[in-house]
Every structure is written in C-alpha cells, then in structure tokens.
Amino acid sequence: MQSTDLDNKITGRRRVVQKSLEYACYSAVTLTAILMIIFFATLGYRGIGAFTQTKIEVDVVEVQSTSKKSINEAMYRLVKEPDRTTKKGLRQLVTPNAYSTIDITEAGTYVLVAHTNVDMYVKGVYDKLTDSQREIVDILISDGKIYRTWNWSFWTNSDSRSPEIAGIWGAMVGTFYTIGLALIFAFPIGVGCATYMEEFPKKRNSWAYDFMEININNLAAVPSIVYGLLGLAVFIQFFGMPRSASLVGGLTLGILTLPTIVIACRTALRTVPQSVRDASNGLGASRLQTTMYQVLPAALPGIITGTIIGIARAIGESAPLLMIGMVAFILTAPTSILDPATSLPVQIYLWADSPERGFAEKTSAAILILLLILVTLNLLAIWLRKRFEIKWK
C-alpha cells in the first residue's frame, strides 16, 4: 500500500543521521546564543558602573584665595585637628581636577566628583583607601554626603587622565566628523561607480571592465590596516594633510567603505528589472534619463541599506585610524575637521590600554555604547529595506 508507506516514520540509519544533524545544528545555535549572552552580560556587568558617579558634598565655610584652597580647607573641617597625613588623605577624596571645574566664590554646599579610589570603593570594585580615609568615607556615606548619581559627565566630557571625569563626548564628535566625511566622500563616488558599471558600459566583456570588477571585489576583502597605510602615505605624506585630523580619517574610512557601497549598489541596481529600463527607453528617454528617473530611484532603498551597513563597518574600525594618528589624547572635543580627533573604537582601545582600574568600567561602557550604535544602524537598515523595498510583479 503506497499511502501507508508514506505515512510511516523515517526509520533506521536515515533517522539517526537526520536526528544527529538536527541536534548538531541545534546545539550550534544554542552555543552561539549562550556566548552572546555571556558577552553582553559581562559587558553590562562591568560597564554599568560607568553610568553612575560617586559625588561628595562639601560645605565651604570660608572662601579662600583660590578654589583649590577653599575645597582643601572645607575637606580639612571634616576631621577635628587633622595631622599632615590625614590632611593629604582628605585632599585625595575629591578628584584632583575638582577645582578646575568648579569656581568657588561664596560659602555654601558644593557637590564635587569623588576621587576614583572613593568611586571604586563605593562601587565595591576595590579598596585602596587608607584606614583614616575609609573611616571618613564610611561616615560621609552614612551621613548622605557621599552618594552615587547618574553620570552625565560621562556623556559630556572628553578624555582625561583621571578616570572619574573621563567621558566619551570627544570621541563621539570625532566619530561623527569622521563618518560624516566618509559618507560624503564615499556615497556619491560609490553610487556613480556602480551606476556606470551596471548601466553605461560600452562593452561588458572588455578587459578594462573586468579589471575594475576584479579590483572592486578584491578591495572589499583587503585588511583595514592596509587602508590606514594608504591614508598615511597618500593623504598625510603626499597631500600634506594634518595628522590625527578627522579629515584624513574620513577620507581613509571613505576609501574603506567604497567597495562595500559599490557592491551593495550594484546588487540593488541589478534587482531593478530590465522591463523598467525597456519601458522608459521605449518612451524615448535617453540612457541617462532612464537611469536618473527610473532605475536609481527604484534601487535607492537597496543602495541606502547597503550604505548604512558599510558605514556601520567603518564606525567600528580602529586599525586604519591608528595608522593615521587618530589615537590622540583629546581633552576637548574637536571643533573642526582639521582638529586632532579620536573615534569611539580608538577611545576604547586607549582606555583598555590604561593602567588605572577606573578605566575598565569606562571601556566596557564605551563598548556597550558602540554596540548600541551599530545595532541601531543595522535595525535602521532592516527597517528601511522592509519599508521601502519595491515588490516587483
């Protein structure tokens, strides 16, 4: 009976093979998921501290000649008749840069950023405080004079030698300039190149066309540091552009993104059916008109999606920026594309390299932010594709 044969379950060797393959795939997926969860959990656990900041409330009774002296005097008041060592310990409870950010002109209560050692003690990461310091800190905590708040300065400050006041703003601005320039540079050239290759070649099987095609496909696989060397040799050495500037970084990342954009754009142009070109040409449109009015608009969702993915790759790129000197230590955010700048991944690299423990949580937090940006960009690309993709009939 044929029908009952079909109804029978798969048995024997076939079943074993099929099941074991199924389980192999299943465990691969599970393993990936577990690794991802561990990765994000570790980053989150390590980095979450950077989003809060320990602050100290200081009562200034008498204003001294400088803010630094006022703060120091206010700190000394916490202990009755402190000796030299205790005084030193008290001074070191607040960040060494406190006086440069707060201008003390009258008596009152001031909220200061705590020293990284206090910060780490409060967050329970490590304890490097002296006994007298620890005693005072514990009292201040129970008095509510030392507390943790949302760390706005992490978003608005630039890099610093002191981890407690270091922030990502400078790196964010650098990333913004660099990627903006890369986009302005690579998008028109990439789209132009792809459009020429797909729509206008005189002969598709000429050696020049093949040469271009091979080049573009291979350039997409070139290690990114090679682009850094290219940027160093061409833009800095040959054209004499300033070192460490986002201008050079933008051009270098632009070249890096170019093949990705060209390939994505060509794929998008190929999905536009020939019938659209026929229809437009049949109405008497020139090749250029057909391309500008019909083919490119129809391919635009694909082009933009591909560009976003290319740009997302460039945002995460650090190696080429190291080559062109964008590892600068940036205390203030760059104000023009010619200023020395750094970018988010390079900032992560710099912080990861710092010996101070306080930078460890900053590193994890910056990685989280970078990942958030990349995930957002990829989601945007997916959304654009779903929303504007043309379903050809």
Chain residues that interact with other proteins, rule: CB under 8 A: 203-204, 273, 275-286, 289, 293-294, 298, 390-393
Shortest Cβ 269–other proteins spacing (Å)? 14
Residue whose token pair is 């007298």: 132
User: Hey, how many other C-beta atoms are within 10 angstroms of the C-beta on 81?
Assistant: 6
Do the Cβ atoms of 369 and 167 come closer than 8 Å?
no
Question: Least distance (Å) from other proteins to the CB of residue 390?
Answer: 4
Q: Nearer Cβ to other proteins, position 80 or 203?
A: 203
| Shortest Cβ 280–other proteins spacing (Å) | 7
Output the smallest distance, CB 201 to other proteins, in A: 9
CB of 210 to other proteins, least distance (A): 15
Which residue has tokens 């005084």? 87
Q: Which helix (H) or strand (E) holds 149?
A: strand 146-150
Least distance (Å) between residue 293 CB and other proteins: 7
The CA–CA distances, whole Å, from 344 to 160, 168, 368 equal 15, 7, 11
Helix runs in the chain, H state only:
2-7, 12-47, 67-76, 84-91, 98-101, 116-123, 131-143, 152-156, 169-199, 207-219, 224-231, 246-271, 274-282, 287-289, 296-315, 319-323, 344-353, 358-388
> Which residue shows structure tokens 């912080």?
351
Q: Is 124 helix (H, G, I), strand (E, B) or coil?
A: coil
| Closest by Cα among 38, 47, 34, 153 to 369 | 47
Q: Please say whether the dihedral angle defined by the alpha carbons of residues 205, 210, 212 and 217, taken in this order, is positive or negative.
A: positive
The nearest distance, CB 294 to other proteins, in angstroms, is 6
Judge residue 80's burial from the number of C-beta atoms within 10 Å of its C-beta, 0-12 exposed, 13-18 middle, 19 or more buried: exposed
**Backbone torsions φ then ψ of 8, nearest 5 degrees:** -60, 145
